[in-house]
Each structure stands twice: as C-alpha cells, then as structure tokens.
Amino acid sequence: MKMIIDATDAVLGRVAAFAVIRAKQGNDVSVINCEKAVISGSKSYVYAKYDHRMNMGTPRHGPFLSRSPERIMKRAIRGMLEHKKASGKELLSRIKCYSGVPDALRGQKAERAPKSDISKIPNTRFVRVSALSNHLGGQ
C-alpha cells in the first residue's frame, strides 16, 4: 500500500519515526514538503550541531552528510533503522523523501504524522529544514 506523509510544519524526528513505523507495516512511504519540516531548538544550537557534524572526519573518508532538505530528512530516517542489515536497507528503500510535491503525487491525499505539529513544541524555538539547508550551503 502506498502512503503519503506531509511534513509541512511538523517536527522532523516525529515525521521520521512515523515513516519508519509505516514502512515496517509494509507500506511504501513518500514524505513530501521536507523543506517545510522543523527541528526544535534555538537557531544557534541547531546550526552549531550541524556545523560540527559537517566538519567531522575528512572529505575522503567521511562521514558524508548531505545539505539538501530531502537528504537531511532521509538521514534522520536512516538513523532510526538498522541500515547496515538487509532488513534495514529494504525498509530504507521503501521510504522516499521529496522537497515540495512531485507531479506524480500531486492531487493525492497526504496524511499528517500524529502529534508532530509545530504547536506541540513548548516554546517558539525551532529551525526550518530549508533554513538549515541554506546555512549548510545547500540550495
């Protein structure tokens, strides 16, 4: 069964966890509007955390981190799976992430992850994934 999850104004980790749960149930999951998801925390904290992650290692040996919004979401999803085992790789291949809404999915009904709305953050400190991507040098 195919499932579409809308990440607009939703917390990145909660959307990622919901996508993993649905993939484990046998669904093919598409996450749309990844650039509109949010990461909770102050701007300085989130930027410093990702800057530190980007500067670890070496260009030749990794870790290799992407700057685009859909790849930031995919990396969060990968962190919730056993991605080095065959079962984790198979689950990860069932989940697709998109910035915006692709033409093939336009007009179809998209679900929201439960309890993932931006209003659930107890304060107003959050960063949009698109702003984080721009800070890291993405598009």
Q: What is the pLDDT of residues 102-127, one digit of tens each?
A: 999 999 999 999 999 988 778 888 99
The model's pTM is 0.90
When pLDDT is cut at 50, 70 and 90, the band that residue 62 belongs to is: confident
pLDDT in tens, 12-24: 999 999 999 999 9
Q: Which residues contact 133 (CB under 8 A, 6 or more apart)?
A: 35, 67, 68, 69, 72, 139
Domain range annotation of the chain: 2-136
Q: What letter does residue 24 receive in the DSSP assignment?
A: H
Beta bridge partners of 29: 3, 95
First-to-last alpha carbon distance for the chain, in angstroms, is: 32
- CATH architecture, range 2-136: Alpha-Beta Complex (3.90)
